[in-house]
């Protein structure tokens, strides 16, 4: 009977060892599944963080673009207003407004034209006076030369 007990004992030991190996294998599979789950959860967390960072960056870019667009619209509006004011200042005719640059240009042109005409008249008068002075000077020289010729002749010839 000893052999029956030994066989039974051996069968129970083998069965327990087999169960222990299966349990260790299952524990290894559970640990591997836990590590896989841990890494998958970590990857999910990292992906969620990356998504949040990308969303924040996208929102920042959108806000920057919106702010830039608003600034550009404001700048365009200001430039438009200033260009209208400048155009009005250049071309204003109402009541001969002295602030109109066009009126100032017309006035400056009229004054310059008048001054040019006066300068031409003054130049013409000066040229005439200079010509008269030259003619008078030539006449005086001729008179002086003829006077010198008369006085240099001997007294007998006179």
pLDDT digit string, tens, across residues 12-43:
888 889 888 998 988 899 888 888 888 888 88
d(CA 101, CA 120): 28
Per-residue pLDDT for 114 more than 90?
Answer: yes
Chain-centroid distance, C-alpha 66: 19
d(CA 89, CA 86): 5
Half-sphere exposure of residue 6, counting CA atoms within 13 Å on the CB side?
A: 3
Model confidence pLDDT, tens digit, residues 121-151: 999 999 999 999 898 988 888 777 776 666 6
């Amino acid at each position: 009977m000893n052999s029956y007990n030994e066989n039974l004992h051996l069968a129970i030991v083998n069965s327990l060892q087999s169960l222990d190996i299966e349990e260790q294998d299952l524990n290894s599979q559970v640990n591997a599944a836990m590590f896989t789950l841990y890494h998958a959860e970590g990857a999910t967390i990292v992906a969620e963080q990356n998504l949040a960072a990308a969303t924040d960056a996208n929102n920042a870019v959108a806000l920057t673009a919106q702010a830039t667009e608003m600034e550009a619209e404001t700048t365009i509006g200001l430039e438009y207003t200033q260009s209208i004011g400048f155009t009005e200042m250049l071309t204003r005719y109402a009541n001969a407004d002295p602030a109109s640059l066009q009126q100032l240009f017309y006035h400056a042109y009229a004054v310059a034209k008048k001054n040019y005409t006066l300068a031409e008249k003054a130049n013409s008068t000066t040229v005439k006076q200079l010509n008269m002075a030259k003619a008078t000077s030539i006449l005086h020289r001729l008179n002086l030369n003829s006077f010198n010729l008369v006085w240099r002749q001997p007294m007998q010839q006179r």
